[in-house]
A and B are shown apart, each in its own frame.
Chain A
Amino acid sequence: MTDAALPTAPAVAGRSLWATALRRLMRNRAAMVSLVVLALYTLAGIVGPMVWPHDYATVYSNYVKVPASLTPYPRANTIVPGAERALARARVEVDTVDVAGETVTLGLTASREIDPRITRYLDRSDLFSNARIVETGDDGRSAVMEADIARLTFVFGTDSNGRDLAARILVSIRISLMIGALATGVALIIGVLYGATAGFLGGRIDGVMMRIVDVLYSLPFIFFVILLVVFFGRNVVLMFIAVGAVEWLDMARIVRGQTLSLRRREFVRAAEGLGVGPAAILRRHIIPNVLGPVIIFMTLLVPKVILLESFLSFLGLGVQEPLTSLGVLISEGARNMRNAPSMLIFPSLALTILLFALNFLGDGLRDALDPKDR
């Protein structure tokens, strides 16, 4: 075996493999649309929470679980009761309420002198802003107050704490994309290397390596997670590792199965006959040939990981409030599906579109990388 001859051959072939693949991918319309969608998601995740008019953590206590709507709140029929409710604890009588355009005018009387601070009762409400006393009676016991009506739009409605759902979806996309990419990445690297090694070396080593996978597969996952929380505290990066560390097992099985069959193939034997080293065979022949199933499996892994995260959050390992993830939003939505359907529909839609894009891109990549079509 000559060391000098080896590095050049794979390098040349590798470039052409990826270049061909890229060219073929560009021709696949569904894959290209998916790529655009994914890019938009990434963009939305990164800059969305910063540019969206509502912050994902702001609580609008007057708007808990309001339905999705393009017209701004408050509704005409809630303004008057809203004003009365806001002033109910201020110990004043609301005699008249007039709504004109964007302002509301209130006539007040009280049994004692009216404290000018009462404007804050209206300002505190999410319905009004800039409340001011425009006129005070001679004895100070009556007053006329004006306030602007604060117009707020919640295109996807709000959640059970009165936070804008659209803002929360944007920030959850950021978190879930990170989780999906990192955990799947970890699973991919460990799984492919482990599986290819086991399948390629075969025999006793393969047996031992696969038994280790069996052991890990059978251990109670929940305890594994609880222990991670105990020993390492709550840490989002840890969560990726936890998820990746569990999910590589299936990946390893699939790669190992493919490798077992590949290594008996003529071209692998030929390479062996030519004195190509095992590492090079793995890199040059095995891994490119298992990429197809691996990519398909990856596109299946991403949704699994994203939804698994909501369970990890339950155990305290996932993201903590006020941050959130698609999995957490969907499981919250599932509980509220009958009273606030928008809490389920929009996060689910966000996840569905993301996964559709991933799947079509995955299929496109698989087709493009198919070594037999080269």
Chain B
Amino acid sequence: MAMSHRRMMFGTRASALAGALLLAWSAGAAAQTTYVRGNDGDPETLDQHKTSTVVEARILRDLYEGLVIDDASAKVTPGVAESWTVSDDGTVYTFTLREDAQWSNGEPVTADDFVYSLRRIMTPATGAKYANILYPILNAEAVNTGETAPEELGVKAVDDKTLEITLASPTPYLLELLTHQTALPVYPPAVEEFGADFVSPEHIVTNGPFRLVSFAPNDRLVAEKSETFHDADSVKIDRVVFLPIEDRATCVRRFEAGEVHSCHDLPSEQIASLRERLGDQLHIAPYLGTYYYALNPTRGALGDVNVRQALSMAIDRDFLAEEIFSGTMLPAYALVPPGISNYVEDGPQLPYANTSMLDREDEAIAMMTEAGYGPDNPITLELAYNNSENHRNAATAIADMWAPLGVNVTFNARDLPAHYAMLRDEKNFDVARAGWIGDYSDPQNFLFLNISDNDGFNYGQYDNPEYDALMDEAASEGDLDKRATLLAEAEALFLRDLPQVPLLFYSSTSLVSPKVEGWVDNVRHVHPTRFLSLSE
């Protein structure tokens, strides 16, 4: 009691110091509410067309408003578009933009701005890392490869306030795609005048609830409430400061010292003690992501599906989730995470999901024996992973679980670029760690990883014409239920052949101060500042 009282007193002093400095430098803004937000890295860019990470997504979501947006619980909600219609065949979307949508310089947001923006991201010279996410738009890929002129892109301004997007084939998750930061509009005159420099605080023009005040690399990014935003009255936070804190343990300390109001990603080794110390300030929520091991079918024994299944069967996913990842992950027996939109009720699972570990181990040993392997005829597998303590601990634990099958594991840890370059190019591994976080809530975003010509991600070199055909069929299917069934059939094939072994589903972890109100845990880990408020 006494201890906690003392800590509170000193904690207040430290945060008062930080607060005083924040205020001093915002000169005379006395009654402002400032939300200090720990972001787990420095944004690579504020150019929405060049971004690729969630670090930038959090900032851009506050600075801009897209046609549709994520609300506090990550549901698709009208943004600049107040309504839309879809053609019967599902390929033409017509958006009606709201009259009062404005840029931060007072100019109206028009359909032409969106046409300009979508053409810009597809133009090869932009060098957009994530252009492919919008490939469902008609001619998008052709424009992006330079085969077609940007004018051919299936985006048209019918009038100032009507935008028409034509798709190559029905894409039921188009609205989810449009909530991604790559679909946010840029202010065309600023881009024309300043080129790549339009993102600097003195040039940038935005249309979101906040406007950029300053951005110092690796130091902080400050945004202030925008008075030109159409819904400015509902925005309760005056100023938001994004602090890039790469070291997750640092964010936790600064949170406990009262220097930041929220942290977005926590060190999993600390979860247990955080739960004890901070109680419900700790938020853990399911997240659209899968952690898996790719198996290289060109390497001896791994070409045998029974060996692959045996290896998968022997992995105690509960132990990994509970002990290695301290409950920040969930056991995975499928590739598509639960809670995803546009999918069947109960997605396919590996048949041994509910079998006890001992039976699974017996069966795995039997299958290995049948395939001709076992402690008497052991196989050696090289397990490659990108180095981090969690990946190392998981690899160590899995190697231990495989030992009874007569599998000797050697490890090959690389740094991240070397690991992923190896996966993409040389593919000289037996088993390799990989992970995927969904960009939008649709099973296609996970299942496309294993399409035979997906060189970038198909680490398990899965080549099943039946699977590819199902994926193609699903891509042109307009009926959501039928499409879901087709995708589920594809996933069932994947789980039968098991080119990659799903291990865990990710959870998002965050620390949220009790002062922050309106924070809703959701599967996309999206928490726009405009829906939050701060109490004293």
Determine the residue in chain B with the shortest Cβ distance to A59.
B400
A160 & B393 in contact (Cβ 8 Å cutoff):
yes
Interface size on A, residues (CB 8 A): 29
Report the stretch among B147-155, B182-190, B269-277, B432-440 that lies at the interface: B269-277
Q: Which of B392, B397, B411, B414 contacts A59 (CB 8 A)?
A: B397
B270 & A316 in contact (Cβ 8 Å cutoff):
no
Determine the residue in chain B with the shortest Cβ distance to A162.
B323
The reply to whether the CB of B476 lies closer than 8 angstroms to some CB of chain A is no
B412 & A321 in contact (Cβ 8 Å cutoff):
no
Determine the residue in chain B with the shortest Cβ distance to A332.
B389
| Of B273, B356, B413, B418, most A-chain CB atoms within 10 Å | B413
CB distance from B503 to the nearest CB of A (A): 16
Determine the residue in chain A with the shortest Cβ distance to B418.
A226
Interface of chain B residues 121 through 138 with chain A (CB within 8 A): none
CB distance from A334 to the nearest CB of B (A): 9
The reply to whether the CB of A322 lies closer than 8 angstroms to some CB of chain B is yes
Determine the residue in chain A with the shortest Cβ distance to B386.
A316
Per-residue A-contact encoding for B395-406, CB less than 8 Å = 1, 0 else: 111011000000
Q: Complex formed: what's the CA distance from A339 to B396 in Å?
A: 21
The reply to whether the CB of A80 lies closer than 8 angstroms to some CB of chain B is no
Per-residue B-contact encoding for A330-372, CB less than 8 Å = 1, 0 else: 0010011011100000000000000000000000000000000
- The number of inter-chain residue pairs (CB within 8 angstroms) is 74
Q: Complex formed: what's the CA distance from A332 to B324 in Å?
A: 13
Interface size on B, residues (CB 8 A): 29
The reply to whether the CB of B357 lies closer than 8 angstroms to some CB of chain A is yes
B356 & A90 in contact (Cβ 8 Å cutoff):
yes
Interface of chain B residues 401 through 436 with chain A (CB within 8 A): 410-415, 418
Q: Complex formed: what's the CA distance from A75 to B319 in Å?
A: 21
A89 & B415 in contact (Cβ 8 Å cutoff):
no
Given A61-B319, A160-B324, A162-B323, A234 contacting B412 (CB threshold 8 A): yes
Complex contacts, B270 vs chain A, CB 8 Å: 336, 338-339
Q: Complex formed: what's the CA distance from A365 to B81 in Å?
A: 80
B269 & A314 in contact (Cβ 8 Å cutoff):
no
The reply to whether the CB of A297 lies closer than 8 angstroms to some CB of chain B is no
A322 & B396 in contact (Cβ 8 Å cutoff):
yes
Q: Which of A314, A316, A335 contacts B412 (CB 8 A)?
A: A316
The reply to whether the CB of A73 lies closer than 8 angstroms to some CB of chain B is no
Q: Which of A117, A124, A315, A321 contacts B395 (CB 8 A)?
A: A321
Q: Complex formed: what's the CA distance from A335 to B270 in Å?
A: 8
| Of B272, B316, B396, most A-chain CB atoms within 10 Å | B396
CB distance from A87 to the nearest CB of B (A): 10
A161 & B397 in contact (Cβ 8 Å cutoff):
yes
Complex contacts, A160 vs chain B, CB 8 Å: 269, 324, 389, 393
B387 & A315 in contact (Cβ 8 Å cutoff):
yes
Complex contacts, B392 vs chain A, CB 8 Å: 321
Per-residue B-contact encoding for A212-251, CB less than 8 Å = 1, 0 else: 0000000000000010010000100000000000000000
Given A315-B415, A316-B412, A321-B411, A161 contacting B393 (CB threshold 8 A): yes
Determine the residue in chain A with the shortest Cβ distance to B390.
A160
Complex contacts, B414 vs chain A, CB 8 Å: 229, 315-316
Q: Complex formed: what's the CA distance from A316 to B395 in Å?
A: 14
Determine the residue in chain A with the shortest Cβ distance to B384.
A316
A336 & B323 in contact (Cβ 8 Å cutoff):
no
B269 & A336 in contact (Cβ 8 Å cutoff):
yes
Interface secondary structure of A, over-half rule: loop
CB distance from A227 to the nearest CB of B (A): 11
The reply to whether the CB of A71 lies closer than 8 angstroms to some CB of chain B is no
Q: Complex formed: what's the CA distance from A313 to B392 in Å?
A: 11
Determine the residue in chain B with the shortest Cβ distance to A160.
B393
B358 & A120 in contact (Cβ 8 Å cutoff):
yes
Complex contacts, A322 vs chain B, CB 8 Å: 396
Determine the residue in chain A with the shortest Cβ distance to B397.
A161
Q: Complex formed: what's the CA distance from A336 to B393 in Å?
A: 13
The reply to whether the CB of B249 lies closer than 8 angstroms to some CB of chain A is yes
Interface of chain A residues 176 through 228 with chain B (CB within 8 A): 226
The reply to whether the CB of B267 lies closer than 8 angstroms to some CB of chain A is yes
Q: Complex formed: what's the CA distance from A31 to B414 in Å?
A: 41
CB distance from B460 to the nearest CB of A (A): 23
Complex contacts, B418 vs chain A, CB 8 Å: 226, 229, 316
B269 & A339 in contact (Cβ 8 Å cutoff):
yes
Given A124-B358, A160-B389, A320-B410, A335 contacting B267 (CB threshold 8 A): yes
CB distance from B513 to the nearest CB of A (A): 19
Q: Complex formed: what's the CA distance from A325 to B218 in Å?
A: 33
Complex contacts, A120 vs chain B, CB 8 Å: 358
Complex contacts, A64 vs chain B, CB 8 Å: 323-324
Complex contacts, A162 vs chain B, CB 8 Å: 323
CB distance from A232 to the nearest CB of B (A): 14
Determine the residue in chain A with the shortest Cβ distance to B414.
A316
CB distance from A118 to the nearest CB of B (A): 8
Q: Which of A89, A121, A335, A339 contacts B273 (CB 8 A)?
A: A339
Q: Complex formed: what's the CA distance from A226 to B422 in Å?
A: 13
CB distance from A121 to the nearest CB of B (A): 6
CB distance from A264 to the nearest CB of B (A): 48
Given A64-B323, A316-B412, A335-B389, A321 contacting B356 (CB threshold 8 A): no
Interface of chain B residues 335 through 393 with chain A (CB within 8 A): 356-358, 387, 389, 392-393
Determine the residue in chain B with the shortest Cβ distance to A117.
B358
A89 & B357 in contact (Cβ 8 Å cutoff):
yes
Complex contacts, A161 vs chain B, CB 8 Å: 324, 393, 396-397, 400
B411 & A320 in contact (Cβ 8 Å cutoff):
yes
CB distance from A124 to the nearest CB of B (A): 7
A335 & B269 in contact (Cβ 8 Å cutoff):
yes
B393 & A314 in contact (Cβ 8 Å cutoff):
no
Q: Complex formed: what's the CA distance from A91 to B357 in Å?
A: 12
B387 & A121 in contact (Cβ 8 Å cutoff):
no
B413 & A316 in contact (Cβ 8 Å cutoff):
yes
Per-residue B-contact encoding for A297-326, CB less than 8 Å = 1, 0 else: 000000000000000011110001110000
A314 & B396 in contact (Cβ 8 Å cutoff):
no
CB distance from B327 to the nearest CB of A (A): 12
Q: Complex formed: what's the CA distance from A332 to B388 in Å?
A: 10
Interface of chain A residues 22 through 64 with chain B (CB within 8 A): 59, 61, 64
Q: Complex formed: what's the CA distance from A160 to B394 in Å?
A: 10
Per-residue B-contact encoding for A79-101, CB less than 8 Å = 1, 0 else: 00000000001110000000000
Across chains A and B, which 6 residue pairs bring their CB atoms closest together, nearest first? A89-B356, A339-B273, A59-B400, A64-B323, A320-B411, A316-B413
Q: Chain A residues in contact with chain B, CB under 8 A?
A: 59, 61, 64, 89-91, 117, 120-121, 124, 160-162, 226, 229, 234, 313-316, 320-322, 332, 335-336, 338-340
A-B CB contact pairs (8 Å), 24 listed: A59-B396, A59-B397, A59-B400, A89-B356, A90-B356, A117-B358, A121-B356, A121-B358, A124-B358, A162-B323, A226-B418, A229-B414, A234-B412, A314-B387, A314-B413, A315-B415, A316-B418, A321-B399, A321-B411, A322-B396, A332-B389, A335-B249, A335-B267, A338-B270
Task: Beyond A89-B356, A338-B270, list 5 extra A-B contacts (CB 8 Å).
Answer: A59-B396, A61-B319, A121-B356, A161-B393, A321-B411
